[in-house]
Amino acid sequence: MCADAFSGRLRPPRPFSPGEREVVAEATRRRRRVPQRGTALTSSDTTNRTSSPTATAQSLDPPTGVITGPDPAPTATADQPSAATLAELGVRPETCAALAAVGITTPFAIQALTLPIAMAGADVIGQARTGTGKTLAFGIPILQRMTVPGSGTPQALIVVPTRELCVQVAKDLAMAGSTRSVRVLAIYGGRSYEPQVDALRTGVDIVVGTPGRLLDLIQQGRLNLAEVSVVVLDEADEMLDLGFLPDVERILARTPEDRQTLLFSATMPGAIVTLARRFMLQPTHITAEMPDEGRTVPTTSQHVFRAHALDKAEMLARILQAEGRGLTMVFCRTKRTADKVALDLDERGFAAAAVHGDLGQGQREQALRAFRSGKVDVLVATDVAARGIDVTGVTHVINYQCPEDEKVYLHRIGRTGRAGGSGIAVTFVDWDDVPRWTLINTALALPFPDLVETYSSSPHLYESLDIPRSATGRLPRSQRVRAGLDAERVEDLGETGRRRRSGGVAVVTGKLRDRGEGRSRAGADDAPTDRSDPGIRRPGRRRRTRGGGAARGAGVSQPVAPAGAVVASAGAEAATGSAANAGRGPTRARGASGDLAVDVGIDHAVDLAVDGSPTRRRRRRGGRGRGRASGEAGAETA
């Protein structure tokens, strides 16, 4: 609309003439063919094994507050479709052969746009949904520039947030570089330093590690980053959430300034943008998804039920008996809940294992190996396993507890439906979690605003998830064919951290283990074996008393006091309570002959019987207690 110069009113614009329309169309075509800095290019012909989403390579001006990068490669233009295979993208024949051996020949959308730019040496920021091949999007450019054999000093550094993701990325890169004998080393905490230091001393080409252990080895002078030419920050937003960004900045400060930096993140918070501005040189921002496409994987079927906390275990047991179910991951918010669910499933006959941060690294890797090999088919985990873990054959993901936010939800359900496969995601929402789920549903635009109240006997649960009507809360014995977690050997990693839970119990072999099981008691090997001697003091159980103190219980023998002698103490623990119980009056302990031994200012005394074994007096409510000891003491004082 145009403003009338005389009346100030709006009048309709004059239509273009045929000649003007042709000039505008030619200018538009010319602008698409020759991209300018600050524009966004779209490639709708990007080849993908699953679908053909639009992939964009953006390079925006710094005044707008967005990252700037060089002009995108010609393969990202709309008029020139990208290559159909990895070989046509210019990947080394050795790398193509190694990937073809595992069935990878065509790139995903994020790979098709990232590879030409990254292999040219430019800095890249990549964004794509989980399960779309981001590992090879930065792994192939690293292998492309790798000099083999090298000097032994690391040529590439990959920083990841979790130990499980570190092991997986190292395994994928070793597979892709197997034909060239590329040496890949995984460095992460929870295991001894010596094997990692020995490998660094022998020589490696690529280092994949978590920030904490990497920084330790750098400060010790064990890890030399002087020859690193490529640095990759994988799952940068997760490192931000875990508080690793200060460590990452210190690590990047030790690398050469002329390095190539590749950053991959599911989201781009402000802290990640600041990190990119500081350590990256004109990065190109690549997003491999359609602008109007949802953030969830379209091949994953989602089901959300409003469940009762006391009925979740029964619902879970029935869902695990659904037709066509393969490997299943069950996610919980807390470590204690993960332990409880794994124990409950084990008692119901399912082959289950737990993975969380309180387990030792050897136990965590044991559970993941057993899950990948099929010895267990249910992995109960916290969000430590929700980032980047890629296990073939996962058909179901069950959110036993509602996720914290939409990002956690996306990464959890992203463990299924990977690499073009289909999957089923089930979420239990408790009554208290309905407001949290409302926020997740709104943020992701999911079609679950009103949740259906569901129980283990609800007919729609059986129908929607294809559960047999004969399914019960326990797995039939005829279907218990998995070897279980006990069949997988625990590798001795020389762990530096704790191996068990700080409280309660720990899931080690799928059974309930007490915290003290397997531990030798102090002095047990040196204790005398002659139990007939009443003069030997033996360890016994500690019992709680009414006053809150601790006293030796039955079965604790002490040296027999001779007639008229004074007993040094009535239990070591009893003496500690004298100050707290001052004012309640002394309590008397007796020797074997019945003579008065000593007054002890505690609330609960330990009496010695004739045979030398202790007897415990009971304290009556509101009084000092009655019994043999108190009666005799009163008679003597009288």
Confidence tier at 615 by pLDDT (50, 70, 90): low
Confidence tier at 293 by pLDDT (50, 70, 90): low
* 536, pLDDT greater than 50: no
pLDDT of residue 407: 84
Say if residue 248 is in the same domain as residue 364. no
Q: What is the pLDDT of residues 441-489, one digit of tens each?
A: 999 999 999 999 999 999 999 999 999 999 999 999 999 999 999 998 8
Rounded distance between C-alpha atoms, residue 151 and residue 494, angstroms: 29
Within a domain: 535: no
Residue/partner pairs of 84-88 with CB below 8 Å, 24 or more apart? 84/47, 86/111, 86/115, 86/140
Say if residue 559 is in the same domain as residue 445. no
Least confident of 268-282, 329-343, 411-425, 612-626: 612-626
Say if residue 614 is in the same domain as residue 485. no
Q: Which two tokens stand for residue 629?
A: 């000891």
Within a domain: 584: yes
Say if residue 382 is in the same domain as residue 279. no
pLDDT of residue 237: 82
Least confident of 22-36, 227-241, 356-370, 435-449: 22-36
* 294, pLDDT greater than 60: no
Say if residue 123 is in the same domain as residue 270. yes
Name beta bridge partners: 342.
none
Within a domain: 10: no
Within a domain: 482: yes
Say if residue 270 is in the same domain as residue 341. no
Confidence tier at 398 by pLDDT (50, 70, 90): very high
Rounded distance between C-alpha atoms, residue 564 and residue 11, angstroms: 120
Supply the range of the domain harboring residue 220: 24-288
411 and 266 in contact (C-beta within 8 Å)?
yes
Higher per-residue pLDDT: 473 or 82: 473
Three-state SS for 53-74 is: CCEEEECCCHHHCCCCCCCCCH
Residues 6+ positions from 413 with CB-CB distance below 8 Å: 296, 297, 300, 302, 397, 399, 423, 425
Say if residue 557 is in the same domain as residue 602. yes
Within a domain: 111: yes
Domain end, chosen from 288, 316, 345, is at 288
Say if residue 367 is in the same domain as residue 281. no
Within a domain: 41: yes
Say if residue 402 is in the same domain as residue 440. yes
Q: What is the dihedral of CA 386, 411, 248, 168, to 10 degrees?
A: 50
Say if residue 230 is in the same domain as residue 304. no
Confidence tier at 346 by pLDDT (50, 70, 90): very high
Say if residue 137 is in the same domain as residue 252. yes
Domain end, chosen from 288, 320, 341, is at 288
Output the pTM of the full model.
Answer: 0.62
Q: What is the pLDDT of residues 119-159, one digit of tens each?
A: 999 999 998 777 678 889 999 999 998 888 878 899 999 99
Query: Closest by alpha carbon to 619, among 559, 577, 563?
Result: 577
pLDDT of residue 472: 94
Q: Which two tokens stand for residue 77?
A: 């233009």
Residues 6+ positions from 63 with CB-CB distance below 8 Å: none
Domain end, chosen from 513, 538, 565, is at 513
Confidence tier at 75 by pLDDT (50, 70, 90): very low
Q: Which residues of 555-573 are buried (b: 16+ CB within 10 A; e: fewer)?
A: ebbbebbeeeeebeebbeb
Query: Closest by alpha carbon to 233, among 218, 252, 253, 255?
Result: 252
Rounded distance between C-alpha atoms, residue 147 and residue 140, angstroms: 13
Instruction: Give the CATH number of the domain where residue 471 resides.
Output: 3.40.50.300
* 576, pLDDT greater than 60: no
Within a domain: 427: yes
Q: Which residues of 85-99 are buried (b: 16+ CB within 10 A; e: fewer)?
A: ebbebebbebbbebb
Q: What is the pLDDT of residues 584-601, one digit of tens each?
A: 444 444 444 444 444 444
Within a domain: 519: no
Say if residue 241 is in the same domain as residue 211. yes
* 215, pLDDT greater than 50: yes
Q: How many domains does the chain have?
A: 3
